[in-house]
């Protein structure tokens, strides 16, 4: 994992209301972080790894968005895909201030200079 990607992820994981986050590199490797003991980093890695099959069942390739948000009873998961193969997942508690920053964070992630 590049230092810039790890630093960016660590800074974003510390926002109040962020339960967990993770990055999938273009080579398929992951780095994930969780602050919620009921949502371990391994679970985020699993979710990131299976998102392709989930998205494939929901979106056609032509209509696939750059990001999507999946809402659940106690939180939401934001997935952001980049053309270079990087994927971000953020798990946010409903009602948290971090939920208000999902769009700006998604735009920021899409514009980051990351090493493949």
- The model's pLDDT over 84-108, given as tens digits with 9 standing for 90+, comes to 888 899 999 988 888 888 899 999 9
Strands 18-24 and 87-93: antiparallel
Strands 87-93 and 67-71: unpaired
Indicate the CATH number of 3-111 among 3.40.50.300, 3.30.450.30, 2.40.50.140, 1.10.3720.10.
Answer: 3.30.450.30
3-7, long-range: CB < 8 A, 24+ apart: 4/112, 4/113, 4/114, 4/115, 5/31, 5/86, 5/112, 5/114, 5/115, 6/31
| pLDDT tens profile 31-78 | 888 888 888 888 888 888 887 777 665 655 555 557 888 888 888 999
Instruction: Supply the pLDDT for residue 93.
Output: 92
Rounded CA-CA distance 109/111 in Å is: 5
| The token pair that represents 83 in the structure block | 């053309």
Is pLDDT of 115 > 80?
Answer: no
Count CB atoms within 10 A of the CB of residue 94: 12
């Amino acid at each position: 994992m590049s230092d810039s990607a790890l630093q960016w992820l660590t800074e974003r994981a510390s926002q109040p209301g962020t339960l967990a986050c993770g990055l999938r590199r273009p080579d398929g490797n992951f780095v994930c972080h969780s602050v919620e003991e009921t949502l371990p980093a391994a679970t985020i890695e699993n979710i990131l790894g299976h998102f392709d099959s989930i998205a494939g069942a929901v979106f056609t390739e032509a209509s696939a968005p750059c990001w999507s948000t999946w809402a659940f009873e106690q939180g939401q998961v934001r997935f952001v895909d980049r053309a270079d193969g990087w994927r971000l997942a953020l798990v946010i508690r409903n009602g948290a201030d971090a939920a208000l920053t999902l769009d700006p964070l998604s735009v920021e992630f899409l514009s980051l200079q990351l090493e493949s």
